[in-house]
């Protein structure tokens, strides 16, 4: 359930939202916002260099589309920067003259810092930095947000309302955004690898591949649902499955010997280091 729909619809109604770049993530956000009716389609603009993409967004969501970033920014209250990080520099040059402190800028570009945006768009810009993840495409995303120093008290709430439409939101300090990238940003790929490995194990043991995948995905989904609904710690639920001398404890011992826990911690640390490098 989108919290924004019930709690904050009135606050966002009346504001115009512009997406600069409306590919995978911009499109996911548009889909979520329209689906949850947070902002009417008539008040949403999407800018994309691709004509086919603009046509698709207009036909599917009834939003306004253009190829003119400056025109979209000029009449928008909230602007979401959703191009690839390497495309951002020229985009900022393009819109700089029409950005001022009447507008809220939300950037989701990986590794791009608040201070960089401030240096390119001006000291007084109201800005929020966000890091969503891929499951936003199906409304099950995890987004971390942090606010720039000139953001108004309501700006973070506005951003929270927007990203709540594609999943859950956490507020963090900016110095933790690389860790967010390493954990929830990259995390879906780690989980896919685990699912793939468990499925392979099933096939190795004679299960048909489709059944092995079904067993694995429903097991992962069920474990996560159990965790969220029971409000217990993972270790408590793990102990509920692992009876003394039983099958699960034998499996867990093999995972410890294989170094799964250390490998996952190292994966998040390596991705966090890489995020820092890319940000520089
Ligand atoms: N996808 C994810 O899972 C994810 C997760 C977290 C954060 N992010 C961040 O979200 C941002 C967007 O990622 P994405 O995966 O949505 O990328 P994407 O699918 O490539 O979407 C970007 C879109 O913007 C278009 N574009 C490029 N330059 C433009 C310009 N100057 N003006 C208007 N449109 C322009 C691109 O067209 P062309 O393809 O022709 O260049 C593309 O259609 C990135 O900064 C990324 O770091 C993504």
In terms of domains, do 110 and 38 share one?
Answer: yes
CA of 228 to the centre of ligand 1 (A): 31
What is the tens place of the pLDDT at every residue in 167-226? 999 999 999 999 999 999 999 999 999 999 999 999 999 999 999 999 999 999 999 999
In terms of domains, do 74 and 198 share one?
Answer: no
Provide mean pLDDT across the span 99-125: 95
Task: Confirm if 142 and 135 have CB atoms less than 8 A apart.
Answer: yes
Residue 153 pLDDT: 87
- Does residue 182 sit within a domain? no
What is the band of 278 on the pLDDT scale with cuts at 50, 70, 90?
confident
CA of 89 to the centre of ligand 1 (A): 13
- Does residue 261 sit within a domain? yes
In terms of domains, do 164 and 192 share one?
Answer: no
Q: How far apart are the first and last CA of the chain?
A: 37
Closest-lying ligand 1 atom to the alpha carbon of residue 26: 16
CATH number of the domain that residue 132 is part of: 3.40.50.720
Range of the domain at 257: 187-279
For the chain, give the mean pLDDT: 94
In terms of domains, do 193 and 60 share one?
Answer: no
Reply yes or no on whether the pLDDT at 10 is more than 90: no
Q: Which residue has the least CA distance to atom 37 on ligand 1? A: 49
The finding on whether 106 has its CB within 6 A of some atom of ligand 1 is: no
CA of 210 to the centre of ligand 1 (A): 33
The finding on whether 79 has its CB within 6 A of some atom of ligand 1 is: no
CA of 204 to the centre of ligand 1 (A): 39
Task: Confirm if 133 and 141 have CB atoms less than 8 A apart.
Answer: yes
CA of 23 to the centre of ligand 1 (A): 5
The finding on whether 142 has its CB within 6 A of some atom of ligand 1 is: no
CATH number of the domain that residue 198 is part of: 1.10.3730.10
Instruction: Report if pTM > 0.85.
Output: yes
Residue 58 pLDDT: 98
CA of 60 to the centre of ligand 1 (A): 19
- Does residue 154 sit within a domain? yes
What is the tens place of the pLDDT at every residue in 219-263? 999 999 999 999 999 999 999 999 999 999 999 999 999 999 999
Task: Confirm if 18 and 81 have CB atoms less than 8 A apart.
Answer: no
Output the six-digit token pair for 17. 């939202």
Output the six-digit token pair for 121. 């768009």
- Does residue 179 sit within a domain? no
Residue 4 pLDDT: 45
Task: Confirm if 168 and 145 have CB atoms less than 8 A apart.
Answer: no
Domain boundary among 144, 174, 204: 174
**Tally of structural domains, the chain:** 2
Measured distance CA(177)–CA(161) in Å, rounded = 19
The finding on whether 180 has its CB within 6 A of some atom of ligand 1 is: no
The finding on whether 15 has its CB within 6 A of some atom of ligand 1 is: no
For a ligand 1 pocket test, name from 24, 57, 93, 274 the mutation site with the most ligand atoms within 8 angstroms of its C-beta: 24
* SS3 track for 131-194: ECCHHHHHCCEEEEEEECCCCCHHHHHHHHHHHHCCEEEEECCHHHHHHHHHHHHCHHHHHHHH
Measured distance CA(2)–CA(88) in Å, rounded = 30
Measured distance CA(79)–CA(17) in Å, rounded = 6
In terms of domains, do 39 and 164 share one?
Answer: yes
Task: Confirm if 129 and 105 have CB atoms less than 8 A apart.
Answer: no
In terms of domains, do 113 and 167 share one?
Answer: yes
- Does residue 35 sit within a domain? yes
Reply yes or no on whether the pLDDT at 12 is more than 80: no
SS3 assignment, position 68? coil
The finding on whether 134 has its CB within 6 A of some atom of ligand 1 is: yes
């Amino acid at each position: 359930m989108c919290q924004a729909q019930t709690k904050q619809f009135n606050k966002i109604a009346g504001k115009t939202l512009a997406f600069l770049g409306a590919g995978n993530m911009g499109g996911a956000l548009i889909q979520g916002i329209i689906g949850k009716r947070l902002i009417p389609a008539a008040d949403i603009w999407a800018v994309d260099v691709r004509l086919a993409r603009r046509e698709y967004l207009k036909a599917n969501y009834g939003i306004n589309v253009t190829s003119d970033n400056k025109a979209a920014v000029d009449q928008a209250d909230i602007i979401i920067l959703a191009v690839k990080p390497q495309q951002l520099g020229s985009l900022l040059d393009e819109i700089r003259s029409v950005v001022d402190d009447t507008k809220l800028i939300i950037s989701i570009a990986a590794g791009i810092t608040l201070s960089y945006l401030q240096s390119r768009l001006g000291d007084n810009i109201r800005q929020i930095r966000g890091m969503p993840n891929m499951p936003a495409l199906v409304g099950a995303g995890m987004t971390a947000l942090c606010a720039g120093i000139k953001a108004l008290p309501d700006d973070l709430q506005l951003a929270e309302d927007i990203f709540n439409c594609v999943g859950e939101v956490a507020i963090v300090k900016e110095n933790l955004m690389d860790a967010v990238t390493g954990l929830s940003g990259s995390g879906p790929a780690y989980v896919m690898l685990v699912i793939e490995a468990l499925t392979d194990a099933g096939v190795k043991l004679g299960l048909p591949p489709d059944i092995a995948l079904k067993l694995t995905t429903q097991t992962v989904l069920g474990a996560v649902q159990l965790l969220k609904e029971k409000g217990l710690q993972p270790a408590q639920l793990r102990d509920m499955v692992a009876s003394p001398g039983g099958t699960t404890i034998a499996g867990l011992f093999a995972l410890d010997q294989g170094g799964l826990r250390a490998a996952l911690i190292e994966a998040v640390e390596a991705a966090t280091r890489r995020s820092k490098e890319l940000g520089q």
